[in-house]
Amino acid sequence: MNRLHFLTSFFCGGLRSRHAARGLSARIPFGAALLLSCCLLLTGCSDAASWSGLLQETEGTDGQIPEGSMQESISDQALPSFSETDGYLKVHFLDVGQGDSILIQAGGQAMLVDAGTNESGSIVTDYLRSLNITRLDYLIGTHPHEDHIGGLDDVIRSFDIGTVILPDAVHTTQTYEDVLDALLEKGLTATAPRPKDVYPLGDASFTILSPSEQTAEEASETGDLNNLSVGIRLVYGSNAFVLCGDAESDSEEAMVQSGLTLKADVLKVGHHGSSTSTCSAFLAAVDPDYAVISCGKDNSYGHPHQETLDRLNAAGVSVFRTDLQGTVVAVSDGTNITWSSAPETEGASEPSGARTQEVYILNPNTMKFHRTDCSSVAQMKEENRIRFEGARDEVIGMGYSPCGQCEP
């Protein structure tokens, strides 16, 4: 049994009780943790790993890996010159295949949000080193899924780390334990995200948007790690970016209802473009000009889903995709945003006047729509079978979801 299991046992044995109110947490220095771990050798408990044992209570201010180097996929010729003193905010959406990793630089400081899969660790660290980064002032692991935190242990061991922000979660994977081990080795603690907390980053700042206390409690009860995702709104001058990990519609709607400012120029699309995220209310509240989708080429999940692309297209949002364009970099001077490449058009719907008219069968009972030759159509009751001729996004706009069998 390793030291991580000992420490975890300590927190699941009573002190690890979510402390009646979410966000209250304990700070355990590495040496003390090791001593406590040894003392607990004979007690035993669940092996579930948790951020909670590493959380410190802090007060913020209210308010599939592609071949080749990621560096080769960046066309910096389109970007203004940039250095620590140039007065720019630079946001790198790294191509880590089917995962997320976002590097942010502002005023000589740097911040990393997620680090992709386990296989992405060296890719992320090499990328940071290529920019002469030796310290990350902030490190955020949005939630404990392998495609977001897989490379965090490599990052923690490779760089000087300032503030670590992680959601209060319980998980039992080796990937999750590897991250906790790396934190312990460096004597680092973590800060739980609290909506409205504001943190400075050079000349920029970011505000925690999610998860809300209620969303976090519900997500913990159901094991829905996506909705534990830490969401932030990054601001530099008059420009803003919203990045919310894999937060799905439940968390997005909670953000809308929170009263927090969500308006932004750029939206990092949730959950790699899955149809379970980027709900209409959230998209309307953020009202972005640009969106970035981070996903792997030809991934098995079908990300990004056409429903999401259609919603973005209908809202007039220009889309960038790491699966098609590699690493995407945005540079803000506080007023304007310059991109390393042009927006991607693959998968975007054509203008409404030129959309192909298709024939679909709608089932108002199940709120699904089908191709006319779908085997499910023959099994429908006559009263549940509606023939519709029009564009696919029109059907989706009516509230229907595509059949998972015929995939219209």
For 318-365, how does the pLDDT look when each residue is reduced to its tens digit (9 = 90+)? Answer: 999 999 999 999 999 999 999 999 998 876 544 333 345 578 888 888
Rounded mean pLDDT of 293-298?
Answer: 96
Comparing CA positions, the residue from 101, 104, 108, 80 lying closest to residue 90 is: 104
Given this model, what pLDDT does residue 171 score?
Answer: 76
Indicate whether 330 and 361 sit together in one domain.
Answer: no
pLDDT of 50 above 80: no
Q: What whole-number distance in Å separates Cα of residue 19 and Cα of residue 55?
A: 12
Indicate whether 268 and 144 sit together in one domain.
Answer: yes
Give tens-digit pLDDT for 221-249.
888 999 999 999 999 999 999 999 999 99
Comparing CA positions, the residue from 304, 285, 301 lying closest to residue 293 is: 304
Indicate whether 254 and 283 sit together in one domain.
Answer: yes
Given this model, what pLDDT does residue 389 score?
Answer: 73
Comparing CA positions, the residue from 53, 13, 50 lying closest to residue 170 is: 50
Q: What whole-number distance in Å separates Cα of residue 74 and Cα of residue 80?
A: 13
pLDDT band at 184 (very low <50, low <70, confident <90, very high): very high
Please state, in angstroms and as integers, the Cα–Cα distance from residue 6 to each residue in 26, 40, 178, 188, 369, following that order.
16, 6, 14, 17, 52
pTM (predicted TM-score): 0.71
Rounded mean pLDDT of 29-58?
Answer: 42
Given this model, what pLDDT does residue 36 score?
Answer: 39
Indicate whether 290 and 260 sit together in one domain.
Answer: yes
Which of 33-37, 133-137, 289-293, 347-351 has the weakest average pLDDT?
33-37
Given this model, what pLDDT does residue 357 score?
Answer: 58
pLDDT of 28 above 60: no
Indicate whether 286 and 371 sit together in one domain.
Answer: no
The mean predicted confidence, pLDDT, of the chain is 81
pLDDT band at 80 (very low <50, low <70, confident <90, very high): low
Indicate whether 223 and 372 sit together in one domain.
Answer: no
> Which residue range forms the structural domain that includes residue 135?
71-166+191-339
Indicate whether 149 and 246 sit together in one domain.
Answer: yes
229 domain-assigned: yes
Which ranges in 192-292 belong to alpha helices (H)? 213-222, 249-258, 280-286
Given this model, what pLDDT does residue 74 score?
Answer: 39
- Domains: count for the chain: 2
Q: What whole-number distance in Å separates Cα of residue 65 and Cα of residue 75?
A: 20
39 domain-assigned: no
Beta carbons within 10 angstroms of residue 4's beta carbon = 21
Continuous segment of H or E residues that includes residue 347: none
The residue behind tokens 């939206």 is 267
Please state, in angstroms and as integers, the Cα–Cα distance from residue 149 to each residue in 120, 153, 154, 235, 270, following that order.
10, 8, 10, 24, 16
Continuous segment of H or E residues that includes residue 92: strand 89-93
Give tens-digit pLDDT for 119-158.
999 999 999 999 999 999 999 999 999 999 999 999 999 9
Given this model, what pLDDT does residue 392 score?
Answer: 76
Contact 295, 274 (CB under 8 A): no
Which of 10-14, 149-153, 191-195, 226-230 has the weakest average pLDDT?
10-14
Given this model, what pLDDT does residue 144 score?
Answer: 94
Given this model, what pLDDT does residue 79 score?
Answer: 56
Given this model, what pLDDT does residue 121 score?
Answer: 96
pLDDT band at 398 (very low <50, low <70, confident <90, very high): low
Which of 75-84, 263-272, 274-283, 325-334 has the weakest average pLDDT?
75-84
Q: Pull the structure tokens for residue 126.
A: 């090499």
Looking at per-residue confidence, does 368 or 190 come out higher? Answer: 190
Indicate whether 359 and 321 sit together in one domain.
Answer: no
Contact 281, 216 (CB under 8 A): no
Indicate whether 145 and 223 sit together in one domain.
Answer: yes
Indicate whether 208 and 287 sit together in one domain.
Answer: yes
Beta carbons within 10 angstroms of residue 130's beta carbon = 11
CATH number reported for the structural domain that contains residue 123 in this entry: 3.60.15.10
pLDDT band at 394 (very low <50, low <70, confident <90, very high): low
Indicate whether 322 and 397 sit together in one domain.
Answer: no
